[in-house]
Amino acid sequence: MKLSYSPHFLRSYRKVSRVVQQAFDKQSALLLQNLYHPSLRAKKYGGAGNLWQGRVNDSWRFYFTVEGDTYCLHEIRAHPKK
């Protein structure tokens, strides 16, 4: 598997703190190893479709789709319930 970053994701990533960036970098490495790694808490997001949510830390999440052998990253943002 590999990662692909949307322009929107890259803009969002540049706006978050360095601490959140480092946490995401760690989590994205785990994603490449195992979508179901317990630290990621990856799950389908919403009712239908191919959108997934992964955990950066307690307060931040990232959103992605799976397209063939690529995780396409679309968004990183504060957790909506925090």
- The CATH number assigned to the domain holding 63 equals 3.30.2310.20
Residue 1 has pLDDT above 70, yes or no: yes
Domain of 12?
2-78
Dump pLDDT digits (tens) for 55-65. Answer: 999 999 999 99
Tokens of 2: 């590999």
Phi, psi torsion values for 34, nearest 5 degrees: -165, 110
pLDDT, residue 45, reads 87
Domains in the chain: how many in total? 1
* 24-46 as b/e: b if 16+ CB within 10 A: beebbebbeeeeebeebebeeee
Q: How far is CA 73 from the centre of its chain?
A: 6
Dump pLDDT digits (tens) for 10-46. Answer: 999 999 999 999 999 999 999 999 999 999 999 998 7
Stated pTM of the model: 0.92
pLDDT, residue 49, reads 77
Among 80, 16, 27, 12, smallest CA distance to 57 is for: 27
